[in-house]
Amino acid sequence: MTSQTLSTLHHCVYNLNHHLVLVTKYRRKCLTGPLLDRREAICRNTAAKGTCELLEFNGEADHVHLLLALTPKVLPSAFVNNLKTVTSRLLRKEFGEHLKKYYWSKPVFWSRSYCILTAGGAPLSVLKPYIKQQERPE
Whether 106 is covered by a domain: the verdict is yes
Per-residue pLDDT tens digits for 47-103: 998 789 999 999 999 999 999 999 999 999 999 999 999 999 999 999 999 999 999
Whether 78 is covered by a domain: the verdict is yes
Tell me which of 23 and 49 has the higher pLDDT. 23
Q: Find out whether 23 and 62 touch, Cβ atoms under 8 Å.
A: yes
Q: What proportion of the chain, given as a percentage, has pLDDT over 70?
A: 97
Whether 136 is covered by a domain: the verdict is no
pLDDT at 39 (0 to 100): 96
Q: If you average pLDDT over residues 106-121, what whole number do you get?
A: 92
**Which residues, in sequence order, are CB contacts of 105 under 8 Å at separation 6+?**
none
C-alpha 85/C-alpha 118 separation (Å) is: 22
Q: What proportion of the chain, given as a percentage, has pLDDT over 90?
A: 73
* Domains: count for the chain: 1
**Which residues, in sequence order, are CB contacts of 37 under 8 Å at separation 6+?**
none
Whether 137 is covered by a domain: the verdict is no
Whether 138 is covered by a domain: the verdict is no
Domain that holds residue 62: 8-122
pLDDT at 86 (0 to 100): 95
Whether 22 is covered by a domain: the verdict is yes
Q: If you average pLDDT over residues 31-54, what whole number do you get?
A: 93
Q: Find out whether 106 and 24 touch, Cβ atoms under 8 Å.
A: no
Which CATH number fits the domain that encloses residue 88? 3.30.70.1290
The single-letter code of the amino acid at 88 is S
pTM of the predicted structure, to 2 decimals: 0.88
Whether 30 is covered by a domain: the verdict is yes
pLDDT at 5 (0 to 100): 83
Whether residue 1 has pLDDT greater than 60 = no
Whether 99 is covered by a domain: the verdict is yes
